[in-house]
Chains A and B, each alone.
Chain A
């Protein structure tokens, strides 16, 4: 069974979102996603300053098998990409909710974050897939 922390929000496309105290959000891929992708070997995180729309492909993770797009769960400005992943993409597999974060976004509209799925909603997405 995959781990779906209750305190996070989720997108149907398997990103998780954590609200930080300063109003920004941290984004990564879920445990379910990393497990489905297999061993990850390359991550291209977005650069700071990029404006992204909700649902826009803005990062790429590659497993041994294939490349997969990662979508911005909310619109806003990217304030950081996790550069450490370039040297250690495998932490996406080992610590998807921690060291494996992909980007930080300053949401254009804070309410967008609350509109994302909660853990139960995301569990349903996985169950129906």
Chain B
């Protein structure tokens, strides 16, 4: 038996098909993954993502610590509640995890990391926090619910206490605010607008039911994967891991090179990669023939061979799409080997879909 979130019984009651995900029993769908996907693109869906790891970081030197730990620079965060996406790197530039960090006070930040990476993240973060006198506290007392879709914010605020509706609706993208016992962030992993809401585990069932009653459709990890792939958001463990670095993972934009004197873990290695020339890049693929692209299929491009890192059928495009790591010079038409046959595909600039709109030429 795996770990269970506070919403486990709700998932069973809603008829979810449960699967193991990084040691957690999680809902993969509640019937139709494709219907759940469309609900998020067109209306509002909700995901239980309580399996993710929430860490509170406190101490006078917490900002200095995070400027050393992360490849992105938390000194960009000046307004309380503001969030930043970053990679956490090894010395050799390999990606340990990707995460979101929220600035709350000068001596207090909150970080959300992946579930499957928890057991390596915690020792790494704790080890590096110690010299800075930063305390790391895991918030396993919190549940995390993502409400996503064009109607997500309106439907979610209808479930809040009246006094919190206005501050929640006023949130700018990538910002968060405390609403009583809830911590509400305008972030997500679907390419749609919405919130990610942290709340005490004891309140999770009541809030989930209220959202459901407000017309927010439960959606499983299956839909979460097709949604994030259409939005071309990387999945840790598939599109990147410790053997790859951000510059070959379409995450160069998350590496803060300036100020040049900021020393962060992995900086020297990334500078060396850049000096000698990065060989690979992560791109989008659109399959032109019939079939379904999947992870590890070989890609043949004008610039040499590459590999699909994650692929699926896109419910919005009704075509198969993928992310693939290919040589930097690759562009245009390519071929993918599926069960011994070479099928026609096209390299595209991600995303495939954003805010309900198709962003690629079909």
Name A's B-contacting residues (CB within 8 A).
Answer: 38-39, 41-42, 44, 60, 62, 64-67, 86
With A64-B33, A65-B28, A65-B222 in contact, is A42–B313 under 8 Å at CB? yes
Contact partner, A86, options B222, B290, B292, B339, Cβ 8 Å: B290
With A64-B226, A64-B313, A65-B222 in contact, is A42–B292 under 8 Å at CB? yes
Q: Are B292 and A39 in contact (CB under 8 A)?
A: no
* 30 sample A-B contacts, Cβ–Cβ < 8 Å, listed by A number: A38-B17, A38-B29, A39-B32, A39-B33, A39-B34, A41-B34, A41-B292, A41-B313, A42-B290, A42-B291, A42-B292, A42-B313, A42-B320, A44-B291, A60-B339, A62-B291, A62-B292, A64-B33, A64-B34, A64-B222, A64-B226, A64-B312, A64-B313, A64-B315, A65-B28, A65-B33, A65-B222, A67-B292, A67-B294, A86-B290
Q: Which residues of B contact A65 (CB under 8 A)?
A: 28, 33, 222
Alpha-carbon distance A64/B28, docked complex (angstroms): 11
What's the minimum C-beta distance from B204 to chain A, rounded to whole angstroms? Answer: 26
Alpha-carbon distance A128/B29, docked complex (angstroms): 23
Closest A residue to B29 by beta carbon equals A38
Name B's A-contacting residues (CB within 8 A).
Answer: 17, 28-29, 32-34, 222, 226, 290-292, 294, 312-313, 315, 320, 339
Q: Which residues of A contact B320 (CB under 8 A)?
A: 42
Contact partner, B222, options A38, A42, A60, A67, Cβ 8 Å: A38
Alpha-carbon distance A64/B230, docked complex (angstroms): 13
Q: Which residues of B contact A62 (CB under 8 A)?
A: 291-292, 313
Q: Which residues of B contact A66 (CB under 8 A)?
A: 294
Q: Which residues of A contact B226 (CB under 8 A)?
A: 64
Q: Which residues of B contact A64 (CB under 8 A)?
A: 33-34, 222, 226, 312-313, 315
Q: Which residues of A contact B32 (CB under 8 A)?
A: 38-39
Q: Which residues of A contact B17 (CB under 8 A)?
A: 38
Closest B residue to A39 by beta carbon equals B34
What's the minimum C-beta distance from A81 to chain B, rounded to whole angstroms? Answer: 14
Most A CB contacts (10 A, CB to CB) among B312, B313, B320 go to B313
Q: Which residues of B contact A86 (CB under 8 A)?
A: 290
Q: Which residues of A contact B222 (CB under 8 A)?
A: 38, 64-65
Q: Which residues of A contact B315 (CB under 8 A)?
A: 64
Q: Which residues of A contact B34 (CB under 8 A)?
A: 39, 41, 64
Most B CB contacts (10 A, CB to CB) among A42, A62, A64 go to A64
Q: Are A38 and B33 in contact (CB under 8 A)?
A: yes
Alpha-carbon distance A39/B32, docked complex (angstroms): 6
Alpha-carbon distance A66/B297, docked complex (angstroms): 13
What's the minimum C-beta distance from A83 to chain B, rounded to whole angstroms? Answer: 12
| Shortest Cβ-Cβ A-B pairs, 3 listed | A41-B313, A62-B292, A39-B34
Q: Which residues of A contact B294 (CB under 8 A)?
A: 66-67
Q: Which residues of B contact A60 (CB under 8 A)?
A: 339
What's the minimum C-beta distance from B19 to chain A, rounded to whole angstroms? Answer: 9
What's the minimum C-beta distance from B287 to chain A, rounded to whole angstroms? Answer: 10
Q: Which residues of A contact B312 (CB under 8 A)?
A: 64
Alpha-carbon distance A39/B33, docked complex (angstroms): 7
Alpha-carbon distance A64/B314, docked complex (angstroms): 8
What's the minimum C-beta distance from B18 to chain A, rounded to whole angstroms? Answer: 13
Given A38-B32, A42-B320, A64-B222, 19 more pairs with CB closer than 8 A: A38-B29, A39-B32, A39-B34, A41-B34, A41-B292, A42-B290, A42-B292, A44-B291, A60-B339, A62-B291, A62-B292, A64-B33, A64-B313, A64-B315, A65-B28, A65-B33, A66-B294, A67-B292, A86-B290
What's the minimum C-beta distance from A82 to chain B, rounded to whole angstroms? Answer: 14
What's the minimum C-beta distance from A74 to chain B, rounded to whole angstroms? Answer: 23
Q: Which residues of B contact A38 (CB under 8 A)?
A: 17, 28-29, 32-33, 222
Closest A residue to B221 by beta carbon equals A65
What's the minimum C-beta distance from A66 to chain B, rounded to whole angstroms? Answer: 8
What's the minimum C-beta distance from A70 to chain B, rounded to whole angstroms? Answer: 13
Q: Which residues of A contact B29 (CB under 8 A)?
A: 38
Q: Which residues of A contact B313 (CB under 8 A)?
A: 41-42, 62, 64
What's the minimum C-beta distance from B26 to chain A, rounded to whole angstroms? Answer: 13
What's the minimum C-beta distance from B34 to chain A, rounded to whole angstroms? Answer: 4
Most B CB contacts (10 A, CB to CB) among A38, A62, A65, A86 go to A65
